Chain A
Amino acid sequence: MKYLLITLFLSISAHSQNAKEKVEYQYKKEEYFDFDALEVQGQLLSPGDLTSNADKRVKFQIKNFIRKDFDDYIREDLIDIH
């Protein structure tokens, strides 16, 4: 009974304290973004089309597309073995 009363008292006091301390949140009225400062380092690349400047395109390099292994097909073969 004694503990019950103490708990009741504590919870009431905590509630009254919360009511007193009203927290107000304020948001910034204005915010500016300096887009010039957000410069991204890198090469200018684009997929390009027939009208684009050819120098800016990444040129198709045959050697990048030559198959280096058959791992994907080996894995597929294993899916068939079950």
Chain B
Amino acid sequence: MLKKITILFIFLFFSGNSFASYKKAVSAVKQKNYFAASVHLKRAIGRTNGKKIAILMEKIVPKTGIYAFLDLSMKSLNKIGSSSAVNYVKGKKMFFLKKDKEAIKYFSKVSAGSNFYLQSVLNLASLYEINGQVSKAIKLAKRCVKLSSRGAKVSPSRIRRVSAAFRAYIHDTCEILIPRAYYKQGKIKKSVAHFKRIDSRSYQFPHLLFDSSWAYFRLKNYNRAVGRNLTFQAPLLDNYFLPESEFVKAITYLRLCDYDETIKIIKNFDKNVRKKLQVFQKSFDLKTNRSFPFLDYMKTRKTKKYKKDFITKMYDVLAMKPGIKILEYHYKILKREEKRTKLSDKRAFRSAKADFVKFYNMYIKVKFVGFAKEIIRVSNIMTEMELDIYTFLKNELYDKKNKRKRKRRTSKELVYNYKRKKNQHIYDFNGEFWADELGNYIPLLESSCKGKSAF
């Protein structure tokens, strides 16, 4: 009997506590303290009606971002009722875990009227493309372009300016997905035609240059392939960095048999990028799992003047990414909330803030590791290319020499510019010496000078 009473008491205590968590979440939302509300709401999962939690999530996620709920297990997320916000969070979680099929399943469930619909369509189209359903991807991408034209409703919806930029980014990403998909299908001419349609004001303009350079390369339009990547040297595109663009230039020159230029590009890449990478990796512990306070650096970089080097350039490149802009938008909301958070919500807010900062730092680290990996990948290919050029040139040199020798044996003509008498002859030297000729042997020397010698 005593046991039963104890169990009942524990049950009542916990259920009461979870219900209190839900109530706290509702109250925090009313006070516009969304980050604290997210913590209370997570505590209520599994103990409060799932539908109620889902409804509240629809209000919280646009303000806090999906980060507040990404740490939840799928088991916990499945306890929440179905809603667009929940399905979007689930889809994104599956995407980060590289479970594309699962992600597609959840993104498909996001309803057309919701704040997360446009993002979901873009995610769906992209995942179809990656997983080989290219025609389906093109169809969805075209729909996405239409839907994301001006005036479309997207999340975050609070600040119009951020919302507009986010919509434009989705539009431009959907737009570039179409030629990319055609490229994958091998329809290169169609791909180029679609690349041409994209406006130069597009967020994806740097990628438009790079991607189309590959398309031109495949169409054997080498001038354009190089020309497109040369554009990255323009001051306007200083904050963009695509290591592979250097590779496209190098491979194009190689195809044109301009070995000197190819080697020049490779050496330049090695000097200006590869060597600086080691400092970059060491500075941020990129090889370990430790997180680095990137958020603090990002805050101070606007006020403090840092020396212009490779690291600051990488930050500049990253700051242009919409992912960072969205994170900054949510960080502003977080800072605003910090001032008005009640004493009772302080603990929950601190927990939410810690999660957000952790995600922010990890996001930048993932991006930086991505940069580092890409540089190493491109650099390794270029080294292989360089070695083969040298090997090729060495063989070519030997071939030339052999051809000359053969010619010499047959015609007995002397093309070398040294003086000899009529009774002096040329013979192949195979290691044998004649006693009466000792002291009269001279080697054939070949000059590599073209035009005037420096000495």
| Chain A interface (Cβ < 8 Å from any Cβ of B) | 47-50, 54, 57, 59-60, 62, 65-71, 73-82
Q: Closest residue to B118 on the A side, CB-wise?
A: A81
Please measure, in the bound complex, the distance between the C-alpha atom of A62 and the C-alpha atom of B381, giving whole angstroms: 11
Instruction: Give the residues in chain A near B165, CB-CB below 8 Å.
Output: none
Distance (whole angstroms) from the CB of A32 to the closest CB of chain B: 41
Is the beta-carbon distance between A81 and B123 smaller than 8 angstroms? yes
Q: Closest residue to B166 on the A side, CB-wise?
A: A81
B27 interface residue per 8 A CB criterion: no
Q: Closest residue to B65 on the A side, CB-wise?
A: A82
Distance (whole angstroms) from the CB of A19 to the closest CB of chain B: 46
Distance (whole angstroms) from the CB of B99 to the closest CB of chain A: 13
Q: Closest residue to B324 on the A side, CB-wise?
A: A80
Instruction: Give the residues in chain B near A57, CB-CB below 8 Å.
Output: 387-388, 391
Distance (whole angstroms) from the CB of B402 to the closest CB of chain A: 14
Cβ-neighbour of B390 out of A50, A59, A68, A77 (below 8 A):
A50
Distance (whole angstroms) from the CB of B291 to the closest CB of chain A: 17
Instruction: Give the residues in chain B near A70, CB-CB below 8 Å.
Output: 180, 183-184, 211
Is the beta-carbon distance between A77 and B391 smaller than 8 angstroms? no
Is the beta-carbon distance between B67 and A82 smaller than 8 angstroms? yes
Please measure, in the bound complex, the distance between the C-alpha atom of A74 and the C-alpha atom of B321, giving whole angstroms: 14
B246 interface residue per 8 A CB criterion: no
Please measure, in the bound complex, the distance between the C-alpha atom of A69 and the C-alpha atom of B131, giving whole angstroms: 12
A65 with B119, Cβ < 8 A, contacts A80-B322, A82-B92 known: no
Distance (whole angstroms) from the CB of A8 to the closest CB of chain B: 33
23 examples of A-B residue contacts, CB within 8 angstroms: A50-B387, A54-B391, A54-B394, A54-B395, A60-B384, A60-B385, A62-B251, A66-B217, A67-B244, A71-B130, A73-B180, A74-B126, A74-B130, A75-B130, A78-B95, A79-B323, A80-B321, A80-B322, A81-B169, A81-B173, A81-B322, A82-B67, A82-B92
B360-397: contact bitstring with A at CB < 8 Å (1 yes, 0 no)?
00000011001000000000010011011011001100
Cβ-neighbour of A73 out of B95, B207, B326 (below 8 A):
B207
Please measure, in the bound complex, the distance between the C-alpha atom of A65 and the C-alpha atom of B129, giving whole angstroms: 21
Q: Closest residue to A74 on the B side, CB-wise?
A: B126
Please measure, in the bound complex, the distance between the C-alpha atom of A62 and the C-alpha atom of B453, giving whole angstroms: 36
Q: Closest residue to B89 on the A side, CB-wise?
A: A82
Distance (whole angstroms) from the CB of B256 to the closest CB of chain A: 11
Is the beta-carbon distance between A48 and B391 smaller than 8 angstroms? yes
B66 interface residue per 8 A CB criterion: yes
Is the beta-carbon distance between B326 and A82 smaller than 8 angstroms? yes
Is the beta-carbon distance between B180 and A82 smaller than 8 angstroms? no
Interface contacts beyond A60-B388, A80-B322: sample of 18 additional A-B pairs, CB < 8 Å, sorted by A: A48-B391, A54-B394, A54-B395, A57-B387, A59-B388, A60-B384, A65-B247, A65-B251, A66-B218, A66-B251, A69-B180, A70-B180, A70-B184, A73-B211, A74-B180, A80-B321, A80-B326, A82-B323
Distance (whole angstroms) from the CB of B148 to the closest CB of chain A: 12
Is the beta-carbon distance between B217 and A77 smaller than 8 angstroms? no
Cβ-neighbour of B119 out of A71, A73, A81 (below 8 A):
A81
Please measure, in the bound complex, the distance between the C-alpha atom of A76 and the C-alpha atom of B366, giving whole angstroms: 11
Please measure, in the bound complex, the distance between the C-alpha atom of A71 and the C-alpha atom of B99, giving whole angstroms: 15
Is the beta-carbon distance between B381 and A65 smaller than 8 angstroms? yes
Is the beta-carbon distance between A71 and B129 smaller than 8 angstroms? yes
B276 interface residue per 8 A CB criterion: no
A50 with B323, Cβ < 8 A, contacts A67-B214, A77-B173, A78-B123 known: no
Please measure, in the bound complex, the distance between the C-alpha atom of A68 and the C-alpha atom of B130, giving whole angstroms: 12
Distance (whole angstroms) from the CB of B176 to the closest CB of chain A: 8
Instruction: Give the residues in chain A near B326, CB-CB below 8 Å.
Output: 80, 82
Please measure, in the bound complex, the distance between the C-alpha atom of A81 and the C-alpha atom of B244, giving whole angstroms: 23
Distance (whole angstroms) from the CB of B426 to the closest CB of chain A: 29
Cβ-neighbour of B126 out of A50, A62, A65, A77 (below 8 A):
A77
- Interface centre among A50, A57, A74, by most B CB within 10 Å? A74
B122 interface residue per 8 A CB criterion: yes
Q: Closest residue to A50 on the B side, CB-wise?
A: B390
Distance (whole angstroms) from the CB of A41 to the closest CB of chain B: 25
